């Protein structure tokens, strides 16, 4: 498999965690968002939306959108599972993942922030926008996750695959996380876990020196 990725892209980081948790190898093909490589013809020919990640499967199929890629990995390589067997527990994990993937991350994606700037919002306004939406979203995550272990139990699962990259982004944007003890517990646990360590932006080959 080939993964089109950018070291600090939230969505790419999710896919890297899912791959690592499943013990799967993918060749990393960096797409430099800062240099606008995602908007150039070669990448647009692969992914018309011009966003990372994208995954080329062993059969040569190009998949886009991190939720679709992660579901593909879960279906194609079911063990170890990211989702529990019980339907209700699966729905809880998916709920946390969707909250992060649909209601937090899209609001601070670089294209959205640049659109705000284009509409005349200054940097202070952009920072307030980010802090508001990340803070509101994480407040809900804090209420939804459990009191011990990872988000939804002793083993890492889909919710954790989404949460850790969101926390990395929150820290990059200097969002105050002090009011979220459960989330901070999950973060501590995950940062000690080999799969999460392997997927972390700081150890990616395309991270600038």
Ligand X SMILES: N[C@@H](CCC(=O)N[C@@H](CS)C(=O)NCC(=O)O)C(=O)O
Q: Please give the residue ranges that form the binding site for ligand X (CB under 6 A).
A: 9-11, 33, 38, 51-53, 65-67, 101, 109-111
Shortest gap between Cβ of 148 and ligand X (angstroms)? Answer: 29
Q: How far is the CB of 158 from ligand X (least distance, A)?
A: 13
Are 205 and 28 within 8 A, CB to CB?
yes
Of 10 and 204, the one with the shorter C-beta distance to ligand X is 10
Classify residue 36 as left (phi > 0), alpha (psi -120 to 50) or beta: left
Tell me the closest approach of the beta carbon of residue 21 to ligand X, in angstroms: 17
Contacts of 147 (CB under 8 A, 6+ apart): 182
Smallest gap from Cβ 120 to ligand X, in A, equals: 19
* Smallest separation, CB 112 to ligand X (Å): 7
Name which of 75 and 192 has its Cβ closer to ligand X: 75
Q: Are strands 54-56 and 2-5 parallel, antiparallel or unpaired?
A: antiparallel
- Output 11 or 93, the one with its CB closest to ligand X: 11
Closer residue to ligand X, CB minimum distance, 51 or 193: 51
Which CB atom, from 17 or from 33, has the smaller least distance to ligand X?
33
């Amino acid at each position: 498999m080939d993964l089109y990725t950018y070291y600090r892209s939230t969505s790419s980081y999710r896919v890297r965690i899912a791959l690592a948790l499943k013990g799967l190898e993918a060749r990393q093909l960096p797409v430099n968002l800062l240099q606008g490589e995602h908007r150039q013809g070669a990448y647009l020919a692969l992914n018309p939306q011009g966003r990372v990640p994208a995954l080329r499967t062993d059969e040569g199929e190009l998949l886009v959108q991190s939720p679709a890629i992660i579901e593909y990995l879960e279906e194609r390589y079911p063990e170890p599972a990211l989702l529990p067997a019980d339907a209700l527990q699966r729905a809880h994990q998916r709920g946390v993942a969707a909250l992060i993937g649909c209601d937090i991350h899209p609001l601070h994606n670089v294209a959205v922030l640049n659109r705000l700037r284009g509409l005349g919002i200054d940097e202070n306004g952009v920072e307030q926008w980010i802090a508001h939406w990340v803070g509101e979203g994480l407040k809900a995550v804090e209420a939804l996750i459990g009191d011990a272990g990872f988000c939804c139990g002793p083993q890492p699962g889909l919710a954790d695959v989404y949460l850790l990259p969101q926390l990395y982004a929150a820290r990059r944007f200097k969002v105050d996380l002090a009011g979220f003890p459960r989330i901070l517990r999950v973060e501590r646990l995950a940062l000690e876990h080999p799969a999460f360590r392997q997927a972390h932006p700081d150890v990616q080959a395309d991270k600038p020196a």
